[in-house]
A and B are shown apart, each in its own frame.
Chain A
């Protein structure tokens, strides 16, 4: 049961600064996901909380106690690594028990804790095996077991699912989430997969270039992104960004004019953002384009639509039984309530 406060945390390697002052407050039992493209500093941030990476400036507090100088083992954390980092020469049981042995716990208690964790993770049958004789998903569970037996105040996950195949990943992410809710342990989870981030997080932290671009609940961030980066990163398929011009009379996109929605007060040269799921194929007056590519996903269909003056095709998600063929010229209406507008220079959201 514990809170984590990250305050003005900075990290530099020699002269290059990789983390530029991040503040995150994590409540007791909260599941926080750090998400961002590779190189944004999310793993570094996690490793600083773990104590594997030194802190250049700022504080990490666990339960209101500054832990900057503490060894990892004294911070009350447990970490699950991307490649699991199981000790290859030890049996599953020994892997899970190793940390407890070093804590000098009595043998009975070690055994009891390992058995409990093994039961929880359904790996009781493999306790005598070596990690090399386990499948990826089983190794993943052993790595989690090793974290659980320590009864930590905080779980840290560093992209734990990225070595699994797609089906298993979906299954495991659910299990991790359920497990975390059962145990109620405060958790920080790093991933580059925004679907994973959206589905698991209580609180989402979107990182970009060592800065927290936005912190909030997944739906808040989805509905109300602060800037173009966050808008594009969260949501799959990602948001379309279209250069547009608005004056008092019309909204101009790709050389096509349409009436300005009443609630839009901004004027000038802007970037309009619209999510693929907020389009409809219809006959009304709207955006016209040519279908260049169709991706059938089963439940829905993605259309890649090119308009004359746009460099990027617009991605449109529509019903899977829509009768559209490649090469069709189509009109696409969109929900004017669901539009986002960004400043072209600062990329900040202005509406």
Chain B
């Protein structure tokens, strides 16, 4: 729809600017807060312009003297967890989707539905039994305990299944005639053809893993295993002292960066993966 009326343009831009402002304002406050010292943030009114303490705050944060574990350790934990969840999920679900789409075995549909039904059981619902299992495996306070329960997933399997269904059967037949066995076909044809989907899924899963809060809170008691998202919450509850808002805000800022970077750098391929398919 192309319209060329000044009034419409004006109204639509106003609405858009208001919407953007509404979303950007809290982030701006966060950004500003992270550049002041603790004292300034206890005074009313709150500052709306950046201060000059950013570098000092960063130093405090990464030295780890203020809030238990140093922040870079938490960042590393988060990164490792998010990456294992993304890679683990993609690997497992692409293989299971391949099995379900390209092989005819007994109870194939039964297994598909079994996987599919877990869509209705996110971590929060099965959190107690899952905790029990992880505890019995002695995986509390470990990277395995952090990521493995979040790897099992139907969404990715389902998405890959739908992608594979759009790959014409003739390609499989052509590769059979060319002499490719199932695994060759999987590696040479299926995976390259779904690479945009893999990338899109990676973006989604990385953010999903990075933002996990409840599960890390449950399985980790050792501060060395804390993730960034958790540690923000921990900083809020640090005893009787005043919450150190400038550091909390800075931590949030730092915690936001990796997902933003992933989205920015993979945006093009992400959109491509969700919308078009080169078939």
Q: Can you name 18 extra interface pairs (CB under 8 A) apart from A83-B170, A89-B189?
A: A50-B177, A52-B173, A52-B177, A73-B176, A73-B179, A78-B177, A79-B177, A81-B173, A82-B170, A85-B174, A87-B171, A87-B174, A87-B175, A87-B188, A89-B278, A98-B175, A103-B179, A146-B178
Residue with the highest number of chain A CB atoms closer than 10 Å, among B171, B174, B175, B176: B174
From 218 to 257 in chain A, residues with beta carbon under 8 angstroms from any chain B beta carbon are: none
Closest residue of chain A to B176 (Cβ to Cβ) is A72
The distance from the CB of A191 to the nearest CB of chain B, in whole angstroms, is: 17
**Complex contact B170–A85 (CB within 8 A):** yes
- Cβ < 8 Å to B, chain A residues 261-282: none
Given contacts A87-B171, A89-B192, are A99 and B278 in contact (CB under 8 A)? no
Q: Is the CB of A99 within 8 A of B192?
A: no
CB <8 Å contact, A73 and B192? no
Interface residue B193 (Cβ < 8 Å from any Cβ of A): yes
Query: What mask results when residues 89 to 111 of chain A are scored 1 for a CB within 8 Å of chain B, else 0?
Result: 10000000011001100000000
> How far does the Cβ of B198 sit from chain A's closest Cβ, in whole Å?
13
Inter-subunit contact A52/B189 (CB<8 Å): no
B179 partner residues in chain A, CB cutoff 8 A: 73, 99, 102-103
CA distance A146 to B173 in the complex (A): 13
Q: When the two chains form their complex, are residues B184 and A79 in contact, meaning their CB atoms are under 8 A apart?
A: no
Q: Which residues of A line the B interface, CB within 8 A?
A: 50-52, 71-73, 77-79, 81-83, 85-89, 98-99, 102-103, 132, 146, 150
**Nearest neighbor of A97 in chain B, beta-carbon distance:** B178
Contact with B173, one of A79, A89, A99 (Cβ below 8 angstroms): A79
Tell me the residues in window 163-217 of chain B with beta carbons closer than 8 Å to chain A beta carbons. Answer: 168, 170-171, 173-180, 184, 188-189, 192-193, 195
Q: Which of B171, B178, B193, B279 contacts A102 (CB 8 A)?
A: B178
Per-residue CB proximity of B55-75 to A under 8 Å, as 1/0? 000000000000000000000
CA distance A132 to B188 in the complex (A): 18
Distance to closest chain A CB from B94 (angstroms) = 16
Give A278 Cβ to nearest chain B Cβ, in Å: 42
- Cα distance, A88 to B168, chains bound together (Å): 11
Against A, the Cβ 8 Å flags (1 = close, 0 = not) of B139-180 are 000000000000000000000000000001011011111111
Interface pair A87/B189, CB less than 8 Å apart: yes
**From residue A248, how far is it (CB to closest CB) to chain B in Å?**
60
A73 and B193: CB pair below 8 A?
Answer: no
Are B177 and A73 within 8 A (Cβ)? yes
* Alpha-carbon separation in the docked complex, A73 to B179 (Å): 5
Task: Name the distance in Å between B37's Cβ and chain A's nearest Cβ.
Answer: 55
Are B279 and A72 in touch, CB under 8 angstroms?
no
**Residue of A72, A77, A82, A132 contacting most chain B CB atoms (<10 Å):** A72
Given A72-B176, A98-B178, A103-B179, A85 and B188 touching (CB < 8 A)? Answer: no
Could you tell me if A79 and B193 are in contact, using CB atoms closer than 8 angstroms?
A: no
Chain B contact patch, size range: 10 to 19
22 A-B contacts (beta carbon < 8 Å)? A52-B176, A52-B177, A73-B176, A73-B177, A73-B178, A73-B179, A81-B170, A81-B173, A85-B170, A85-B171, A86-B174, A87-B171, A87-B174, A87-B188, A87-B189, A89-B193, A98-B175, A98-B178, A99-B178, A102-B178, A102-B179, A132-B278
**Are B177 and A99 closer than 8 Å at their CB atoms?**
yes
Which chain B residues (237-279) contact chain A, with CB distance < 8 Å?
278-279
A295 to B205 Cα, complex, angstroms: 63
Query: B106 CB to closest chain A CB, in angstroms?
Result: 16
Q: Which residues from chain A contact B189 at a C-beta distance below 8 Å?
A: 87, 89
Q: Smallest Cβ distance from A252 to chain B, in angstroms?
A: 53
CA gap between A81 and B174 in the complex, in Å = 8
Please list the 4 inter-chain residue pairs (A to B) with the smallest Cβ-Cβ separation, ordered nearest first. Answer: A99-B178, A73-B179, A85-B170, A85-B174
Given contacts A98-B188, A102-B184, A132-B278, contact A85 B178 (CB under 8 A): no
Q: How far is the CA of A83 from the CA of B170 in the complex (A)?
A: 8
* Chain A, Cβ-Cβ closest to B195: A89
A13 CB → nearest B CB, Å:
13
A85/B192 in contact, CB under 8 A: no
In the complex formed, the residue of B with least CB distance to A73 is B179
Question: A73 to chain B: which residues have CB within 8 Å?
Answer: 176-179
- Shortest CB-to-CB span from A280 to chain B, Å, is 48
Q: Least Cβ distance of A315 to chain B in Å?
A: 37
Residues of chain A with a CB closer than 8 A to B195's CB: 89
Centre residue among B175, B177, B189, B279 by max chain A CB count within 10 A: B177
Chain A residues within 8 Å of B177, by CB: 50, 52, 72-73, 77-79, 99
Cα–Cα, bound, A132→B174 (Å):
17
**Which chain B residue shows the least CB distance to A98?**
B178
Expressed in whole angstroms, the Cα–Cα distance for A102 and B192 within the complex equals: 17
How far is it, in angstroms, between the C-alpha of A72 and the C-alpha of B180 when the chains are bound?
10
Instruction: Report Cα–Cα, A98/B192, bound state, in Å.
Output: 14
Contact A85 B173 (CB under 8 A): yes
Q: How far is the CA of A87 from the CA of B184 in the complex (A)?
A: 13
The reply to whether B278 and A102 form a contact with Cβ atoms under 8 Å apart is no
Residues of A within 8 A of B178 (CB): 73, 98-99, 102, 146, 150
Q: Which residue of B lies closest to A84 (CB)?
A: B170
